Chains A and B, each alone.
Chain A
Amino acid sequence: MTNVLVCVKRVVDSSGEVVLTEDGQSVDGKFAGYTMSNHEECAVELAVQATAATGGTATVLTLGEPEAVEQLRAALAVGCTAAVHVEADAGAFGPSDVAREIAAVVKEHEAAGRPHDLVLLGNDAADSGDFQVGIRLAYELGRPVVNGAARVTVEDGHVVAGVEAPTGYETYRVPLPAVVTVLEGGVEPRYPTVPGRMKAKKVEVETRSPATEPRGAKRVRLLLPPPQPSSVQILGKGADAAPAVVDLLEQLGVTR
């Protein structure tokens, strides 16, 4: 039986135009809306699969503003069974701060007889892109860590994690308790069912305050890169443009 804790972050949906807040300290989600950071959708799926296979519990955790409960409900709707919400202004927390807060929850739950043998996180957040929270958490907890896993399974008290590296598919086999960060692509996150959503609404979320004062992210300010003037040459409209396109292909030397 493996009890998994999966950590997710509420981020601004950046698939459209990105707008900054007036103080230049964060990305404004007023118009774009919010979502769960992409790698973490896969981490949630892997957490649900691992607990289904071993009969344990899957707890989802987030650190963020009150509205981040939406992302907790989304994870509950696809099979997580409990949720922890550290209510805080995520922008004021640097990666070390976040790692310390997750570690505080893991240690407190463990002392209360609810250990989290495996902690899953995204490899990096879609907004702050720090690439380090999972590793810092491992040091806070004194656990081994595998980074950037596409596949994660649990067998015989070990976590087996597969990483797609440029040189090949690398396998790690690490004794529990452990920390694994997940890269999207190894599993397809499932869609929530209607009964899943109904069930998610009824779960009581454990809401708590941060354990310590954050030290911050050492951020001076955010900037948008200067817009590049468009120099596009329109070759034509619809099928009529085909000769102009093939002229271009010949000029580039890409037609055999």
Chain B
Amino acid sequence: MILVLVETDASGADEVSRETITFARNLSAAGGGVPIDAVVIGDLPVPAESLTDQLASYGVRDVHHVTGDAFSAYGGASWASAVVSVRETTGSVVVTAGGTPRGMEVLAHLAARKGVAMAANVVSFGGLSPFTVTRQVVGGAVLEEMVLDERPAVFTVAGHAVEASPAEARGDGRLVSVNPEVDTADLVARVVSSDPPAADLSGGLKSARVVVGAGRGAGGANKFDDLLELTSLLDGELGVSRVVTSLGWRPHHEQIGQTGSRISPDLYVACGISGAIQHWAGCSSAKTILAINTDAEAPMVSKAHYAVIGDLHEVVPAINEEIKRRRG
């Protein structure tokens, strides 16, 4: 049996969790149709029936809902102890989760407890004997084939490795409430307080329809006026590469990339950004990419859909003027 740790948001199972279940179905098919169960922990943001209904449409058999005071606040160790408990009762041979901070953390605890390996950021499955997966390393610039020869096989699925899609055949989606005992030692490291982010600093960037990005080519902390004007004309958000925050030109919450925000706008205008793999990891989901760069050979230019070759401080003001001229 395959056990999937499901994380939730206002839509029920969040997108990465639905992608992970979709990934697990390929594995299930390779194994001759082994059942897929889900485990979900703590208070749910949606009614339990709507979550089980949604998970059934993805082919999930049982939904193990872990409840109890011990799970009112998040903790990696306590969540892992609950997943271990569900795994022991179901006898799962595979435990997986989305490659999110919590997915990674809980499964790393589980792997340490079970004394088995964990593969992070898996993008494809290679075969059952031996159980082989391919995962992203070096921020996605390199792939690694790895053998998971212990049971349970533990891995997380990289975001966007597959597209989330409902199953052809519905699962039972049976709700199973569980209330496992938790060792007090597993409650030591838990969230004691949670504050809303100070004015949700990077939320706008992640959900923006248009993002104007700036890299080293911006040239200095005081050289963002034209970029900010374009951002405003397109009703978008400003994002920057790591070098811009490292140099202190712009705040960290504006950073796009492996260690910043991952964006998926309709349009990403990448200005003066060379396109290092760390940055690409954060912007590759943009539907259309327009690169503005002096270097026609820059990776960002070759990966973009459209490009203008030139200094951003000449091109961007000209675009701003053209937009304003056409608006009259």
- The smallest beta-carbon distance between B137 and chain A, in angstroms, is 5
What does the 1/0 interface line of A154-196 toward B look like (CB < 8 Å)? 0000000001110111111111001000011100100000000
Cβ B76 vs Cβ A135 within 8 A: yes
Nearest to A226 among chain B residues (CB) is B143
Q: Decide if B191 is an interface residue (CB 8 Å cutoff).
A: yes
Cβ B302 vs Cβ A232 within 8 A: yes
- The smallest beta-carbon distance between A103 and chain B, in angstroms, is 12
Q: Decide if B308 is an interface residue (CB 8 Å cutoff).
A: yes
Cβ B308 vs Cβ A234 within 8 A: yes
Cβ B105 vs Cβ A20 within 8 A: no
Which residues of B from 179 to 232 have beta carbons under 8 Å from A? Answer: 185, 188-198, 209-210
Cβ A246 vs Cβ B193 within 8 A: no
Q: Decide if A209 is an interface residue (CB 8 Å cutoff).
A: no
Q: Decide if B49 is an interface residue (CB 8 Å cutoff).
A: no
Report the Cα distance A170→B102, complex, angstroms: 13
Cβ A169 vs Cβ B194 within 8 A: yes
Query: How would you classify the secondary structure of chain A's contact residues: helix, strand, loop or mixed?
Result: mixed
Contact of B314 among A178, A183, A239 (CB under 8 A): A239
Cβ B234 vs Cβ A254 within 8 A: yes
Which residues of A from 231 to 256 have beta carbons under 8 Å from B? Answer: 231-246, 248-250, 252, 254-256
Cβ A220 vs Cβ B146 within 8 A: yes
What does the 1/0 interface line of A71-113 toward B look like (CB < 8 Å)? 0000000000000000000000011100000000000000000
Q: Which B residues are in CB contact (< 8 Å) with A167?
A: 194
Nearest to B116 among chain A residues (CB) is A96
Cβ B138 vs Cβ A129 within 8 A: yes
Which residues of B from 150 to 198 have beta carbons under 8 Å from A? Answer: 156, 185, 188-198
**Total A-B pairs, Cβ < 8 A:** 239
- The smallest beta-carbon distance between A125 and chain B, in angstroms, is 9
Q: Which of B104, B195, B304 has most chain A Cβ within 10 Å? A: B104
Cβ B117 vs Cβ A218 within 8 A: yes
Q: Which B residues are in CB contact (< 8 Å) with A147?
A: 76, 101, 104-105, 108
Given contacts A171-B193, A218-B148, A238-B314, 10 further A-B contacts (CB under 8 A): A129-B136, A131-B118, A132-B111, A147-B108, A172-B189, A221-B144, A222-B144, A237-B309, A242-B319, A254-B234
Report the Cα distance A76→B319, complex, angstroms: 48
Cβ B195 vs Cβ A238 within 8 A: no
Q: Decide if A64 is an interface residue (CB 8 Å cutoff).
A: no
Q: Decide if B44 is an interface residue (CB 8 Å cutoff).
A: no
Cβ B105 vs Cβ A218 within 8 A: no
Report the Cα distance A172→B145, complex, angstroms: 36
Cβ A165 vs Cβ B194 within 8 A: yes
Report the Cα distance A223→B76, complex, angstroms: 32
Assuming the contacts A218-B146, A241-B315, asked whether A170 and B276 have C-beta atoms less than 8 A apart, the reply is no
Cβ B143 vs Cβ A223 within 8 A: yes
Cβ B278 vs Cβ A14 within 8 A: yes
Cβ B136 vs Cβ A232 within 8 A: no
Q: Decide if A70 is an interface residue (CB 8 Å cutoff).
A: no
Nearest to B311 among chain A residues (CB) is A238
Residues of B within 8 A of A (CB): 74, 76-77, 101, 104-105, 108-109, 111-113, 117-121, 132, 134-149, 156, 185, 188-198, 209-210, 233-236, 248, 252, 255, 259-260, 266-267, 276-278, 288, 290-291, 296, 301-311, 314-315, 317-319, 321-323, 326-327
Cβ B276 vs Cβ A15 within 8 A: yes
Report the Cα distance A211→B304, complex, angstroms: 49
> Which of A1-9, A51-59, A138-146, A199-207 is the contact stretch?
A138-146
Cβ A232 vs Cβ B305 within 8 A: yes
Cβ B142 vs Cβ A144 within 8 A: no
Q: Which B residues are in CB contact (< 8 Å) with A225?
A: 140-143
Q: Decide if A33 is an interface residue (CB 8 Å cutoff).
A: no
Report the Cα distance A96→B113, complex, angstroms: 12
Q: Which A residues are in CB contact (< 8 Å) with B121?
A: 129, 131
A-B contact pairs, 5 of them (CB 8 A): A136-B111, A228-B303, A230-B302, A232-B307, A254-B266
What does the 1/0 interface line of A21-57 toward B look like (CB < 8 Å)? 0000001000000000011000000000000000000
Q: Which A residues are in CB contact (< 8 Å) with B301?
A: 232
Cβ B310 vs Cβ A239 within 8 A: yes
Assuming the contacts A183-B259, A232-B307, A248-B306, asked whether A220 and B252 have C-beta atoms less than 8 A apart, the reply is no
Assuming the contacts A14-B138, A165-B194, asked whether A236 and B76 have C-beta atoms less than 8 A apart, the reply is no
Report the Cα distance A128→B156, complex, angstroms: 14
